[in-house]
Structures are given as structure tokens and as C-alpha cells.
Amino acid sequence: MNNNSLMSLLAGGALLFSCASPSSNPSTSEESDIEVTPAQMDKLGITHADHLSAASKRALNWPNIGNEWFIEFSELQPLQGDLAYEEGVVRRDPSAMIFENGKYYVWYSKSLGATDGFAGDVEKDKVFPWDRSDIWYATSEDGWTWKEEGMAVGRGEPGAYDDRSVFTTEIMKHGDKYYLVYQTVKSPYTVRVKNQIGLAWADSPDGPWTKSAEPILSPADNGVWKGEKQDRFAVEKKGDFDSHKVHDPCIVPYEGKFYLYYKGEQMGEEITFGGRQIRHGVAIADKPEGPYIKSPYNPISNSGHEICVWPYNGGIASLITTDGPEKNTIQWAPDGVNFEIMASIKGAPHAIGLNRTADTEKEPTEILRWGLSHIYKSYDYQCIMRFSSKRITTHKGKGE
């Protein structure tokens, strides 16, 4: 039994078994051809090897992967300085942090004012907290007290693919250059608008930044809207998993190429037994600027939201959160594409900004020991905070 099977068993097994034809006589171990050893019975607490529930059958098929991937997150802690909460200002979706010039750098989405939504004039209003955003950056010597340094990448000129908003960015340093990859929206910001991904590069983390003239990644162009009304759930054909939006980009140098991981949203997105239909994909290029070619194996996850990936043990690890039947898991792909569940976790923060200075080979989750996240003070206003985590290998009572 491999870890691919574990994904199905953990995430969908309960549903699959519950949908089986009802029977007045529960299955026996003989009927399912499952052999149960005394050691397995003792470890899993199985009383009768000839009366196995569906849950016991799934447990018997779990691979023995240990607990080295299992962690718990602490409560978020407020930052000091310019990244402390500021009324009327949205700061959210922090990038990973890098350490340059004796200090940490982080980039993030910044916008002003409350959210109006889609009921009014979308040409003039602010439809989401991340609408009408620019990408700003801040620095810190200790990761707690931050100084806002200014805008890094702003919105484009009217008519450009990024004229409405640039947001949800990630940083990559490769060689002597720095790269910011981010989401873009072109006006008007309607519910059917197709988000794209842009790129900017610089010789210094302080800029100046040169933006790509065109998006480096766009949604699949194979879905068909139904009617002309601005209704993102009305479709004649849904298309690929990323037929509506490509979001939350992150570029990782891997195996001599550049892997652009991203979140896909599908036209006519549904709510399933795992929640929203959100999945991840990857596009691969020979150089940071592209061109990026989507993997034929997409989607590479069944769940997730914001992208959070890091290299480990020759492969790529991924924290999967928020949406879908495999949410709240850490997964790992030995080839950067075929991900397997390694741990089921709880309480993962939103929109994690990793500490890229961490030793990713020390432990599988070492890079998650501390970093940045954002928190909703209200629907209108978010701020950046600090998270931490620790490995959990035992459970003891007070004083034990």
C-alpha cells in the first residue's frame, strides 16, 4: 500500500464506504481478504479480527510513515512597527521572507478602504479586500518589528493586463536576481473576470522592478459561460480546473528548471463533500521569465487554497489548507508533481509566508517553525501577523 492510497483512504474513504450497497450482514475479514496480525490488532485496538468495520479496514491499509511530518500551530502573534494593525489599511498575503543586507524582507498586498462588493459600480468601487492593491515591502532585523519601505510593484497603466490590481505575491532569489510573481486583474473587476499571473525582476531586493509586458500564466481557455449575466456559477462547460482563475503563484527552482505552483479556480466552481472545488497546478519553464508550460498531470492536488511549497529530500512538500476533501494535510512529491499525504494537521494559518532561510533538510517541517500569515480583523481589513509551530510526538498530561 503506497501513500497515494492513503490520500484516498484519509480523504474520501469514509464517503466511499458509506455509499456502498447496504447490507444486513457486515463484511468479515475473510470476505475482504484482509489478514490481521496480532501486532496490528494490538496497535489499532481491534477486538475481533473477523469483524472488521470499514474504519478498521482503512486503518489496516495505512502506510507506516511515522509522525515526523505531524505538527501543531500556535496562535498568531501581532507584529510591531509598521506592520502592526492599522485601521483603514489592508495588508495581507505576505510572501516568503528572505534575508539580505542583514535583515529580513517580505512583500505583501496593500490596499486602502473598505470593501464595497459587487452590488454597486464595479468600475468605481472596491469589490474585494485585495482589489485596487499594489505590492509593497517591509524589512526587519528580528522578524517581529518591521519597517515599511514603500511600493515595490504597482498597478499598470489603463488598458494593461494588470491595471486594476496586483496582489498575492511571492519572492524568489536565483543567482544575483530577485523575482516577484503575483496575481493580476484587468478592469472591470466583475465576477467573471479571469485573473492572470505576472512577473517582475530586479537586481536588488529594494528594486527597481521591471514588469513582464504580458502575463506569464493565464487560465485555461476551454470553459463556456452560460448567458451574459454576471453569474460565475452559470456555465455550459466548466473546462479545466483552472478555467476561471490562476491564483497564489510561487516559483521554486527544481531539477534545473522553474516550477510555478499555482491555485486554480474552475468556471462554475461547485461545493462538494469537501467544500469549495479548489485545486493546485504546476507550470514549468527553463528560465524564470518563462515561457511556462502547464504540466499534463494537472491538477496535482484535490484540495488546497494558498500555495505553500518548499523543497525537501529531493522532492517538494506542500501544505494543503482550507478547501477540498484533502484539506488540512501536508503532502510531499518525490518528483514535484505526484503528491502523497504525509500528515493530517489542524489550525494551519491563512496565506503562509515561509522563512526561506530555514534549513529545509533538518526536518520535513523545519521551514514551518515560524513565519508570517494574515488575519481578518474584519471582512474589510486584514493585517499581517507571525505564526509558529512545533512537532508533536507525544501526548502528556500536566506534570506527567
Secondary structure letter of residue 186 according to DSSP: P
Q: Are residues 217 and 196 in contact, defined by beta-carbon separation less than 8 angstroms? A: yes
Residue ending a domain, among 60, 80, 105, is 60
- State whether 41 and 173 are in the same domain: no
Residue ending a domain, among 60, 83, 99, is 60
- Residue 329, SS3? strand
- State whether 39 and 85 are in the same domain: no
- Residue 83, SS3? coil
Cis ω for the linkage preceding 208 (within 30 of 0): yes
- State whether 79 and 199 are in the same domain: yes
Domain carrying residue 298: 71-391
- State whether 280 and 368 are in the same domain: yes
- The whole-angstrom separation of Cα 276 and Cα 21 is 27
- DSSP letter for each residue of 339-375: -EEEEE-S-PPSS-B-BTTS-TTTSTTGGGSEEEEEE
Q: Are residues 98 and 36 in contact, defined by beta-carbon separation less than 8 angstroms? A: no
Note whether residue 109 is domain-resident.
Answer: yes
- State whether 95 and 38 are in the same domain: no
- The whole-number pLDDT of residue 4 equals 47
pTM of the shown model: 0.91
Sequence letter at residue 284 = I
- Cell triple for 98: 528572505
Q: How open is the CA angle 79-81-82, to the nearest 5 degrees?
A: 100
Q: Residue 6: enclosing H or E segment and its boundaries? A: helix 3-7
Residue 196, strand partner residues: 184
- State whether 49 and 145 are in the same domain: no
Where b means 16+ CB within 10 Å and e means fewer, 368-391 reads bbbbbbbbeeeeebbbbbbbebeb
Note whether residue 400 is domain-resident.
Answer: no
Helix, strand, coil % in the chain, rounded to nearest 5: 10, 35, 55
Question: In the chain, how many domains are there?
Answer: 2
Note whether residue 55 is domain-resident.
Answer: yes
Domain harbouring 323, CATH code: 2.115.10.20
Note whether residue 164 is domain-resident.
Answer: yes
Alpha carbon distances (Å) from 55 to 52, 60, 181:
8, 9, 43
pLDDT in tens, the chain (400 residues): 444 444 444 444 333 333 344 444 544 444 557 889 999 999 999 999 999 999 999 999 888 888 999 999 999 999 999 999 999 999 999 999 999 999 999 999 999 999 999 999 999 999 999 999 999 999 999 999 999 999 999 999 999 999 999 999 999 999 999 999 999 999 999 999 999 999 999 999 999 999 999 999 999 999 999 999 999 999 999 999 999 999 999 999 999 999 999 999 999 999 999 999 999 999 999 999 999 999 999 999 999 999 999 999 999 999 999 999 999 999 999 999 999 999 999 989 989 999 999 999 999 999 999 999 999 999 999 999 999 999 999 988 999 8
Note whether residue 259 is domain-resident.
Answer: yes
- State whether 31 and 82 are in the same domain: no
Residue 275, strand partner residues: 272
Q: Which of 201, 190, 183 is nearest to 242 (CA)?
A: 183
- State whether 129 and 55 are in the same domain: no
What is the number of residues in the chain? 400
What's the half-sphere exposure (Cβ side, CA atoms, 13 Å) at 266?
21
Q: Which of 7, 114, 138 is nearest to 61 (CA)?
A: 7
Alpha carbon distances (Å) from 87 to 52, 82, 377:
57, 12, 9
- Residue 124, SS3? coil
- State whether 161 and 47 are in the same domain: no
Residue ending a domain, among 60, 84, 102, is 60
Note whether residue 155 is domain-resident.
Answer: yes
Note whether residue 397 is domain-resident.
Answer: no
Number of H helices, E strands in the chain: 5, 26
Note whether residue 398 is domain-resident.
Answer: no
- The whole-number pLDDT of residue 34 equals 82
- The whole-number pLDDT of residue 17 equals 33
- State whether 47 and 86 are in the same domain: no
- State whether 28 and 137 are in the same domain: no
Q: Are residues 130 and 91 in contact, defined by beta-carbon separation less than 8 angstroms? A: no
- State whether 184 and 313 are in the same domain: yes
Distance of CA 242 to the CA centre of its chain: 14
